[in-house]
Amino acid sequence: MPEGTSAGHPSTKGEGLSWAIGPLIALIAMAVTLFMPAVMNDGDTHWHLATGQWILDHRAVPHEDPFSFSKLGAPWQAHEWLSEVIMALAYQAAGWSGLVVLFGGVMALTFGLIALRLAKSISGLTLLSVLALSLACMAPSLLLRPHILALPLIVAFTAEILAARDEGRAPRLWFAVLMALWANLHGSYVFGMALAAPFALEALLDAKTFPERRKVVISWGAFGLLCLAATAVTPHGVKGMIFPLQLMTMSTLDGIIEWRSADFTRLGPLEVALLASIFVFLRFPVKLPVIRLLVLLLLLHMALRHTRHITVLGAVAPLILAAPLGAAMGIAGSKGGRRVLIAILAGVIVLAGVRLALPITRENSIRSPDAALAAVPEDLRQRPVLNEYGYGGYLIFNGVRPYIDGRADMYGDAFAGRYFEMAKGNSALLDETLAKSGIAWTMLPPSHPLTPLMDAKPGWTRLYADPYAVIHTRTGG
């Protein structure tokens, strides 16, 4: 990040063009979503679409599993049901192109909101650098899944809390009402609830007199209680409120890539962001109130513990750091909020038009092994299959009941743990599963540890194989 002038004498150099930085990054984020195939590189997208379509078809939210054969009828909370309906509607409207346009627009909105908040405190190359690092941190998790649809709410909620503290008031109550929308979109609403508490404490500690402290308790308390009540306005009620907390206690989460710890064996966006932050903090006297510093450290801990939280760190940390950073570097904010919104809206329309004019056609791939599934006779598709974890959503989307899929919370620790242990190449568990579950065919990647075991297993033969999937069936059908 570039140096500013001395604190107390904000630099206005380059401010005239600073308003354009937000739209630039917002539209880059949208363009990446629209035109980078990697955003579709997640098997869970398929079962989210299937769930949304099931809800539209049945005019109800499922409370039991309607998709698998191994857990059919088991209790299941479709806690992201609203995101899934929105995804299904976008897919109905324009296929995969409609889906990526939806997510691209959400990313543009997310960075538009971040830019509007940051521009109040920083400008020029510093603003560009912070937004670029934020986008880099989010990019690895930029997939067609519900957590992306919740990003604008994370940003808007955090910005409102910071604005409330800047203005010496409690957050506006209608933001608490938005919590009901958030709770039906994605489980990250718990983060919003948790974020409000330390800032309420900060407001209480800053109050100097008893009447001021009483006002803080009443106003922030009312906001918190309304938020809590709003989270219960879901098809799952109180059970939905505690679901995200129950999910975090699962012992098999480390078997899922997004729940693993951050990997620093190769240079990645998180490491770059951390190194850049350390450089700036040591070069300039960036000072944060103790509670905000603790919030940042908690966010960093979450990101280091589970890679899925790097996205939250990338969205929230810049909002908290912008004002201290601008003050330390002597940088003035920039204006042009209306121009920012107009530029983003115009760019979104143009990019969406280009994407819709060039429809996406998914090809045979590791996430869409169409050729392998096409080789499976229709009657065999209706019989039990042992599939790779990442293929589960794809099978559901194509009307095949999988053994397991990305809904690890529904399958539970015991079932998922046993599967992940078997998937390491445990021959005994494989034999037990094939017999106990009456498996008639398997669908595995060529490099999967179970594939050579199936090749060598008596009574089984390869029906089909390509670079993306191998189908085994019992000899003689």
DSSP for 372-424, written as a single string: HHHTS-HHHHTS-EEE-GGGHHHHHHTT---S--S-HHHHHHHHHHHHHHHHT
Which of the pair, 193 or 89, is modelled with greater confidence? 89
Please work out, in degrees rounded to the nearest 5, the angle formed at the alpha carbon of residue 119 by the alpha carbons of 191 and 329. Answer: 100
> pLDDT (tens digit, 9 = 90+) per residue, 227-275?
999 999 999 888 777 777 777 777 777 777 777 788 898 899 999 999 9
Question: What are 471's strand-pairing partners?
Answer: 443, 464
Rounded to whole angstroms, the Cα distance separating 234 from 200 reads 26
pLDDT at 477 over 60: no
| Window from 80-84, 219-223, 336-340, 472-476 with minimum mean pLDDT | 336-340
> pLDDT (tens digit, 9 = 90+) per residue, 166-211?
999 999 999 998 999 999 999 899 998 899 999 999 999 999 999 9
pLDDT, position 13: 45
> pLDDT (tens digit, 9 = 90+) per residue, 103-138?
999 999 999 999 999 999 999 999 999 999 999 999
CA distances from 459 to 230, 274, 388, 446, 454 (A): 56, 54, 20, 19, 9
pLDDT, position 239: 79
pLDDT at 144 over 80: yes
The pLDDT-based confidence of 8 (bands split at 50, 70, 90) is: very low
Rounded to whole angstroms, the Cα distance separating 277 from 271 reads 10
| 387 phi, psi to nearest 5 deg | -120, 155
Q: Is the pTM of this model over 0.85?
A: yes
> pLDDT (tens digit, 9 = 90+) per residue, 9-51?
444 444 556 778 999 999 999 999 999 989 998 989 999 999 9
Which residues in 247-384 belong to E strands, given as ranges?
none
Find the radius of gyration of the CA atoms of the chain.
Answer: 25
> pLDDT (tens digit, 9 = 90+) per residue, 404-454?
999 988 999 999 999 999 999 999 999 999 999 999 999 999 999 999 999
Average pLDDT for 64-83: 95
pLDDT at 156 over 90: yes
Question: Following CA atoms 175, 178, 180, 185 in sequence, which dihedral angle do they give, to the nearest 10 degrees?
Answer: -140
pLDDT, position 10: 47
Contacts of range 232-241, beta carbons closer than 8 Å, 24 or more positions apart: 232/183, 233/180, 233/183, 233/184, 234/79, 234/180, 234/183, 234/184, 235/61, 235/63, 235/78, 235/81, 235/184, 236/63, 236/77, 236/79, 239/77, 240/77, 240/79, 240/183, 241/183
> pLDDT (tens digit, 9 = 90+) per residue, 371-395?
999 999 999 999 999 999 999 999 9
Rounded to whole angstroms, the Cα distance separating 150 from 378 reads 38
Q: Is 79:236 a contact under the CB 8 Å cutoff?
A: yes
Q: Identify the CA nearest to 101 among candidates 362, 359, 394, 341.
A: 359
Q: Kindly give the pairing relationship between strand 460-465 and strand 385-387.
A: unpaired
pLDDT, position 52: 98
pLDDT, position 383: 97
- Chain length of the chain: 477
pLDDT at 65 over 60: yes
